[in-house]
Structure 1
Amino acid sequence: MPIQTVEPQRLYRQIAEQLRQLMNSGEFAVGSRLPAERDLAVQLGVSRPSVREALIALEVEGMIEVRTGSGIYVQSTTPLKNKAGAAQSDASAEWGPLEVMSARILVEAEVAALAAQNAQKKDLQAIRNGLQKMKLEAARDEVPRWGDEAFHEGIAQACGNGVLLDTVQRFWQARNGPLFERLGDYFEHPASWQAAIAEHQAVLDAIEARDSTGARKAMQKHLKQAHKRYSASWRRAPAR
């Protein structure tokens, strides 16, 4: 069964499904190495980030094993049932991590700008508390996951728009899923945590200064850098 071109607008799950079919048909046998991410992207006619999301989904399902510096190997032709979406039952379970990051760049930049205009004292304190929690988690050599969520939700609360708050909360529902968690295993590490904390501090400083333009730019910069970190080469992904 030859590899077929995947239309660019399709999500990573369609790519993962085609790779599953190739494994099931014996095109890629258990123990064999898959083509490199770059080669898969060319053969499938999609971007490398889309291929990466598909590979992460297959890894979460137990079908492949990613060996940093060596390659991607077929581990099983049978996915572990419902593991990739077990924690989520709504549409956000279908969202690819890098797609979510791209959406956050657009939406949360404006949320931060509104927060700079509308934040009350209690909102500012909630945002500060989120950042402080990030710092404490990082100091314990933990992924600063909960402080990160509290920080961004505090900004969304401060923006004064319930629809935008719900939207940001949906982003974090997706962020809690196993695909994001596995991606973080490869690309989150103490140096990236410290970079993220510094970027969050810049966002907070602009909001406290009531600088809407500065808050928008600081949030854009932070989320673009986060997207860049998640898009790094597998080979450069530091071991945890």
Structure 2
Amino acid sequence: MTATEEIIEYLGDQIVSGKYKPLEKLPTERDLAIQLGVARGRVREALRGLSMAGLIEIKRGNGTFVKPSSEWMNSTTVKWAFCGQSASMEELFAVRDVLEKGVYNLAFDNCSNADLLIIEKDLSLISEHIKSDLSTYADCLDRFDLQLAKVARNVMFLSLFQALIILRRRNVEAILALKGSREQSLQLRKSIYTSFKNRDKKQALDAIDNFFDKAQQFVTDE
């Protein structure tokens, strides 16, 4: 995990957990850099990532403010922000890192036997359509991932995740166009499902970390 990703994960957790309240002004970039022991540039990148996720608003000259939770659900705003020329694959992965890991971790804690059956069916659907057209296969991945968000049983996380699925779609399709990416996307989700089925929290956390490490490595190698 990069320094920027670590900052995003830390601040994202602080916001979602309520330490920083809606409309509250965050510490300055300088103060955050001192507090976290990192360069101001890293803090600036992290704040941009959180802004893309819709969690904060950066007001030039006035500071950075936590957005009302109702606006976190605005997928149109998130998609618009991501599609700007300043958005990068690294920023997308940073946003996915804090949101998706949180969702999957909570999903593990709340997953029932009935949930496992649905997840298994969604996994089978991915396998069945691995040779289908790009859009259909991407839909299957979204279906599986969204089901995990539902299993988390957190309305806020679900709303954010729905927005993130829209935000990430273009890049997911770009990755899936690369050789071997479909097989990897299926295998990584199999690992997550298996860890849930085994009720092994460490295995689940390792599978989730591996999910993002492999995805980022795949893009970097290409």
Shorter-chain TM-score range: 0.5 to 0.7
Tell me which structure has the larger Cα radius of gyration: 1
- The Cα of 1:142 is off from its aligned counterpart by 4.2
Question: Residue 156 of structure 1 aligns with which residue?
Answer: 149
Distance (whole Å) between structure 2 residues aligned to residue 120 and residue 195 of structure 1: 26
Residue of structure 2 in register with 1:199 after alignment: 188
Is the counterpart of residue 92 in structure 1 residue 79 in structure 2?
A: yes
Instruction: Report how far residue 204 of structure 1 moved.
Output: 0.4
Query: Map of 1:1-240 to 2, 5 A cutoff?
Result: 89-95=76-82, 96=87, 97-140=89-132, 142=134, 144-177=137-170, 180=171, 183-184=174-175, 188-233=177-222
Greater displacement, 192-201 / 115-124: 115-124
- Give 1:208's aligned amino acid: K
Greater CA deviation, 129-138 or 91-100?
91-100
Percent sequence identity is: 17
Equivalent residue pairs, number:
146
Structure 1 stretches lacking a partner, 5+ long: 1-7, 9-45, 51-87, 234-240
Q: Is the 8 A contact 1:123 1:157 kept in 2?
A: no
Q: What is the one-letter code of the residue matched to 1:102?
A: A
- With normalisation by structure 1, the TM-score equals 0.52
8 Å contact kept, 1:124–1:208: yes
Structure-2-length-normalised TM-score = 0.56
Per-residue displacement from partner, 1:96-147 (whole Å, max 9, x unpaired)?
A: 3432222222332232222222112332223222211211111336462011
After superposition, the CA RMSD in angstroms is 2.9
Q: By how many angstroms is 1:183 displaced?
A: 3.2
Gaps of 5+ in 2: 5-40, 46-74
